[in-house]
Amino acid sequence: MGYGLNTMNTCLIIFAKSPIPCKVKTRLTPKITPSKAAELYKAFIVDIVNNVHKLKCDKVIIAYTPYNAEMALHRLVGRSLNYLPQKGHNLGERMKNAFKHSFAKGLKRTVIIGTDSPTLPVSYIQKAFDVLKETPIVIGPTFDGGYYLIGLSEPNDNIFDGVRWSTSSVFSQTLARIKGVNKRLYLLPPWYDVDTSEGLEFLKSHLLAMRLSGFEEIPDKTMRFLKI
């Protein structure tokens, strides 16, 4: 990761949960057991963190939940990253507070991603940072009606208010909020999260295609776990 000579401009915040069986990837059961789902989620976290080390980014933060998840994540991805507890009653509040933390530290361009897309190209995240030089908001939509990435170059708390989180209308409602505050928006290409049994089957097929095509950005730990 490259560090600016005088100021720190870019911050990536990775939202992650403690990988506890029956608490993560619950919609993958009964396709796989709760313990297997938790192990798969661990692989997602490791692969995503390994991938983002390729970014030109000044600061990487793991925003974790619940409040006591930090040690479990230390064991997975080490202590060299920055760690921040998530704060808020819903996802919108937690993202809003994470952005506030970053801007309060003087960082200029902040991007939040989750840990549900182990195949997300790092080029998409880098593109988000690049467009934030000129555009105040960037979003990467998912095929299920949400988004895998959101980035801001200035505080925009209002776009997180009044959204029905964990529904298929998150993206459309967020667009309406952005239109309401009259802010310019850049949209990244759509990508997919792995939350359901169908999503897991798609991931397996995608990983197989990536391996057979010689693609370099392969999430190794996820692939080994799934025996692709």
- Assess whether pLDDT exceeds 60 at residue 75: yes
DSSP notation for 80-102:
SSEEEE--SSSHHHHHHHHHHHH
Strand partners, 113: 14, 149
Pairing of the two strands 109-113 and 147-152: antiparallel
Q: What percent of the chain has pLDDT over 70?
A: 97
> Can you list the domains of the chain with their CATH numbers?
10-225 (3.90.550.10)
pLDDT band at 5 (very low <50, low <70, confident <90, very high): very low
**pTM score:** 0.95
Q: Peptide bond before 30: cis, by omega within 30 degrees of 0?
A: yes
Q: Taking every pair of C-alpha atoms in the chain, what is the biggest distance, in angstroms? A: 52
Give per-residue pLDDT as tens, 95-142: 999 999 999 999 999 999 999 999 999 999 999 999 999 999 999 999
Give per-residue pLDDT as tens, 79-90: 989 999 999 999
pLDDT band at 216 (very low <50, low <70, confident <90, very high): confident
pLDDT band at 158 (very low <50, low <70, confident <90, very high): very high
